[in-house]
Amino acid sequence: QVQLVESGGGLVQAGGSLRLSCAASGRTLGIYRMGWFRQAPGKEREFVAARRWSDNIFSYASFVKGRFTISRDNAKNTVYLQMSSLKPEDTDVYYCTADLGGGWEQGSWGQGIQVTVSS
How does pLDDT run across 98-112, given as a tens digit for each residue? 999 999 999 999 999
Average pLDDT over residues 23-30: 94
Task: Give the torsion sign (CA, 68, 45, 9, 107).
Answer: negative
27-36 pLDDT tens trace: 999 999 999 9
Secondary structure letter of residue 37 according to DSSP: E
pLDDT at 55: 85
Residue 94 burial (CB < 10 Å; 0-12/13-18/19+)? buried
Tell me: the pLDDT tens digits for 45-84? 999 999 998 888 999 999 998 999 999 998 899 999 999 9
Share of the chain above pLDDT 90, in %: 92
Give the integer Cα–Cα distance in Å for 26 and 4. 9
Position 48 scores a pLDDT of 98
